[in-house]
């Protein structure tokens, strides 16, 4: 019995030492986050991955020493990038000669989007306190204290089932964290703005480089504002200048000056681009204004929450410890700042506890509203202007015009090939058989009848093939019933258990055809490559924008670099200045979101709409 007790004490001390290391891991994560704000994504990823071995070791020790098995909650790591046939690595519309950038980007998305990462960070913060409490607990009770610590570890580090919503306290604490995070990103943006302005006095050629580096931090603020508060802040920047092209005489021109090499024209074009873009100066102004405003928004709530939390700790943790050790150290002196006496007894502590709790709750009440308000204020200077929107759209249309021409030429060649190899060959054969019928009708009427029956069967097959070809060009149901009913008809023919929901009016026929074939490609990919069983299609149209979401329960891992289907969808949508977003983590689910700017069909007098439909 004594030996078991001593073993429990040794194990408790070891777990306490391991718990204290969690603060070092948390410090490294904070350093990695600061480097992330400066554009070093891999530093944050390394910090998060470097902290996981301590959590894994704690899970293993909890099962071995505490008798509580804790399973790993982490999502599977993303696969290695695959090289394409031409030797390049593709990520979206960008090509890379080496795979390290895509690899670290994928690993950053994988580890930052994993819910277990957030629980690990919370465990790193609170586990040292639990470890310090474990020492006296294990000295008093022995093995039961270890088992209780094992349950604590399983609650923090074990896998959890998804719940419908979050509690009030967790939701408002997260909102407070979002407030502080937005302020931290704006402060990092200010840190990048200062050297950017200083180089205008000194080495001006470095100005474009620092502008691009500062935009990395600003883009992080835009992305996190969307993830945290739902406020979308689009990038307002004008397109970067293209690389100089030599003239017929081999010289490079910039304005009225000619150069032998493209170095100076490229540098001057980038400097002029950075100086003329109004978003550059709006970012610099936002760095100062947002830092001050977001600090003023977050400071009162953070002060109230800190006051209330520290007040409860002082009343019921530090005060008893100070009285027990007879140090005479006062831990409730901040209550005197609001005119309240210090607590020297349990009765006074009980009377002051509602004050601390009220301050804590009052600080959290407005945090969601203040977080959204801060993001909306940041959008005033960081959002796009009408000029930048037009410039971006013109540049995008220039890029997609070539793709649209190539895709149209390929489609015409496909139709020509199908007609030549299919329908045309059958018509030629039918013509030859008609000649044989004409020759045999007098000499051998029975043989002529057999050939005529064969001709009738061949004509039926030719008509069926021709209908399929026409359907591939433009389905009749799409012209007659519209996009909503056409997608529902497609869902009925799909081998998956598909459900279609949404209200879509009659739209322009080219946009309807684009959306129809894009959905058809996604359904085919889900059944053929995703090994899905169910798929959900959401249709919606609002304010000139058609939005379609296709979600399946397949194995995930969809990648545009592995096939031409997703690229074809991107090219098809690019013709209409549409956007395509794909989320497909390993293990699923796969969610594809398409947005197509389009207008209502002016030729339809009475628009047909539908609500929902499904097939099982």
Q: Is 234 in a helix, a strand, or coil?
A: coil
Strand partners for 545: 542, 597
Q: What is the mean pLDDT of residues 145-152?
A: 88
pLDDT in tens, 460-493: 777 776 766 665 566 777 778 888 888 888 888 8
For 534, phi then psi, to 5°, come to -125, 150
Q: What is the pLDDT of residues 210-226, one digit of tens each?
A: 898 899 899 999 989 98
Alpha carbon of 526 to those of 45, 395, 520: distances in Å? Answer: 31, 32, 10
User: pLDDT-based confidence at 610, cuts 50/70/90?
Assistant: very low
CA 484, CA 502: separation in Å to the nearest integer? 8
pLDDT in tens, 158-210: 887 655 456 788 889 889 989 999 999 999 999 999 999 888 877 777 888 88
Which residues make Cβ contacts (< 8 Å) with residue 165, sequence separation at least 6?
none
Q: Is 413 exposed, middle or buried (0-12, 13-18, 19+ CB in 10 A)?
A: exposed
Taking phi over 0 as left and psi of -120 to 50 as alpha, with beta for the rest, 606 belongs to beta
d(CA 414, CA 417): 5
Distance separating alpha carbons of residues 561 and 79, to the nearest angstrom: 13
Neighbours of 538 (CB within 10 A): 15
Identify whether the C-beta of residue 64 lies closer than 8 Å to the C-beta of residue 152.
no
Buried b (16+ CB within 10 A) or exposed e, 285-321: ebbebbbebbbebbeebbebbebbebbbebbeeebee
Mean pLDDT of 541-564: 79
At which residue do the structure tokens 């009475």 appear? 606
d(CA 79, CA 583): 15
Query: Which pTM was predicted?
Result: 0.56
- Residue 126 CA to residue 188 CA, distance in Å, equals 27
Q: How far apart are CA 460 and CA 197, in angstroms?
A: 76
Element (H, E) at 68: none
User: Which burial class, exposed, middle or buried, applies to 370 when counting CB atoms under 10 A from its CB (0-12, 13-18, 19+)?
Assistant: buried
Mean confidence (pLDDT) of the chain: 81
Q: Between 515 and 203, whose confidence is greater?
A: 515
pLDDT confidence of residue 291: 93
Other Cβ atoms within 10 Å of 394 Cβ, number: 11
3-class DSSP state of 435 = helix
Question: Rounded to the nearest 5°, which phi and psi values hold at 277?
Answer: -75, 120
- 3-state SS of 502-518 is EECCCECHHHHHHHHHH
Q: How far apart are CA 446 and CA 180, in angstroms?
A: 92
Cα–Cα nearest to 58, from 8, 11, 113, 24: 11
Share of the chain above pLDDT 90, in %: 13
Q: Which residues contact 587 (CB under 8 A, 6 or more apart)?
A: 75, 76, 555, 556, 557
Q: Note whether 352 and 380 are within 8 A (CB).
A: no
Q: What tokens does 210 get? A: 């620092």
pLDDT tens per residue, range 59-98: 888 888 888 888 888 888 888 888 877 778 877 656 778 8
Strand partners, 89: 96
> Exposure string (b/e) for 196-216, b if CB count within 10 Å is 16 or more?
beebeeeeeeebbebbeebbb
With bands split at pLDDT 50, 70 and 90, how would you rate the model's confidence at 608?
A: very low
Query: How much is the pLDDT for 39?
Result: 66
Bridge partners (DSSP) listed for residue 595? 547, 579
What mean pLDDT is predicted for residues 269-280?
88
Instruction: Indicate if the pLDDT at residue 605 is higher than 80.
Output: no
Q: State residue 378's pLDDT score.
A: 93
Integer CA distances (angstroms), 516 to 485, 494, 557, in order: 10, 14, 24
Q: Write out pLDDT tens, residues 2-55.
A: 888 888 888 888 988 888 888 888 888 888 888 876 667 778 888 888 888 888
Most confident range, picked from 136-140, 400-404, 447-451, 528-532: 136-140
Residue 408 banded pLDDT, cuts 50, 70, 90: low
pLDDT band at residue 611 under the 50/70/90 scheme: very low
- The tokens for 585 are 């983590």
Cα(518)–Cα(516) distance, integer angstroms? 5
Provide the pLDDT for residue 290. Answer: 94
At residue 400, the pLDDT reads: 60
Rounded CA separation 454/437 (Å): 11
Q: How far apart are CA 90 and CA 83, in angstroms?
A: 8
């Amino acid at each position: 019995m004594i030996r078991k007790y001593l073993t429990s004490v040794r194990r408790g001390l070891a777990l306490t030492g391991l718990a204290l290391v969690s603060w070092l891991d948390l410090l490294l994560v904070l350093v990695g986050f600061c480097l992330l704000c400066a554009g070093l994504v891999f530093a944050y990823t390394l910090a998060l991955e470097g902290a996981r071995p301590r959590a894994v070791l704690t899970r293993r020790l909890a099962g071995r020493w505490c008798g509580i098995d804790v399973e790993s909650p982490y999502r599977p790591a993303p696969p290695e990038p695959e090289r394409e046939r031409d030797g390049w690595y593709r990520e979206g519309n960008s090509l890379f000669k080496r795979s390290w950038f895509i690899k670290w980007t994928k690993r950053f998305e994988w580890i930052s989007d994993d819910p277990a990462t957030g629980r690990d960070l919370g465990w790193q913060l609170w586990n040292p306190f639990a470890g310090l409490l474990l020492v006296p607990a294990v000295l008093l009770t022995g093995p039961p204290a270890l088992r209780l610590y094992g349950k604590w570890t399983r609650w923090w580090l074990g896998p959890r089932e998804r719940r419908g919503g979050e509690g009030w306290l967790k939701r408002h604490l997260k909102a407070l964290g979002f407030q502080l995070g937005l302020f931290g990103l704006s402060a990092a943006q200010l840190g990048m703005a200062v050297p950017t302005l200083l180089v205008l006095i000194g080495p001006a050629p470095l100005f474009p480089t620092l502008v691009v580096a500062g935009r990395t931090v600003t883009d992080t603020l835009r992305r996190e504002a969307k993830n945290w508060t739902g406020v979308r802040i689009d990038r307002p920047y004008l397109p970067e200048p293209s690389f100089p092209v030599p003239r017929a005489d081999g010289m490079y021109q910039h304005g009225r000056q000619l150069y032998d090499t493209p170095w100076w024209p490229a540098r001057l074009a980038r400097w002029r681009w950075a100086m003329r873009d109004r978003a550059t100066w709006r970012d610099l102004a936002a760095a100062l204004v947002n830092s001050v405003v977001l600090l003023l928004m977050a400071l009162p709530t953070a002060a109230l929450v800190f006051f209330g939390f520290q007040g409860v700790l002082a009343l019921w943790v530090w005060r008893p410890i100070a009285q027990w050790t007879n140090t005479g150290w006062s831990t409730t002196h901040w209550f005197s700042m609001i005119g309240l006496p210090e607590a020297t007894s349990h009765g006074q502590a009980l009377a002051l506890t509602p004050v601390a709790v009220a301050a804590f709750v009052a600080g959290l009440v407005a945090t969601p509203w203040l977080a959204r308000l801060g993001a909306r204020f940041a959008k005033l200077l960081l959002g796009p202007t009408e000029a930048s929107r037009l410039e971006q759209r013109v540049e995008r249309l220039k890029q997609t015009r070539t793709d649209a021409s190539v895709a149209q030429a390929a489609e015409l060649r496909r139709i020509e090939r199908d007609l030549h190899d299919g329908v045309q060959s059958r018509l030629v054969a039918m013509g030859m058989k008609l000649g044989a019928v004409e020759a045999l009708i007098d000499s051998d009427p029975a043989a002529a009848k057999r050939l005529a029956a064969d001709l009738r069967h061949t004509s039926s097959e030719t008509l069926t093939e021709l209908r399929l070809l026409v359907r591939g060009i433009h389905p009749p149901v799409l012209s007659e019933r519209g996009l909503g009913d056409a997608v529902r008809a497609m869902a009925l023919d799909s081998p998956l258990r598909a459900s279609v929901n949404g209200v879509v009016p009659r739209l322009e026929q080219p946009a309807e055809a684009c959306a129809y074939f894009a959905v058809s490609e996604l359904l085919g990919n889900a059944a053929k490559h995703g090994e899905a069983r169910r798929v959900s299609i959401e249709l919606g149209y609002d304010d000139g924008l058609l939005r379609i979401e296709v979600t399946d329960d397949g194995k995930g891992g969809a990648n545009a670099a592995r096939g031409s289907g997703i690229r074809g969808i991107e090219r098809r949508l690019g013709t209409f200045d549409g956007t395509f977003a794909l989320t497909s983590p390993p293990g699923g689910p796969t969610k594809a979101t398409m947005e197509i700017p389009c207008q209502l069909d002016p030729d339809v007098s009475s628009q047909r709409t539908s609500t929902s439909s499904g097939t099982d």
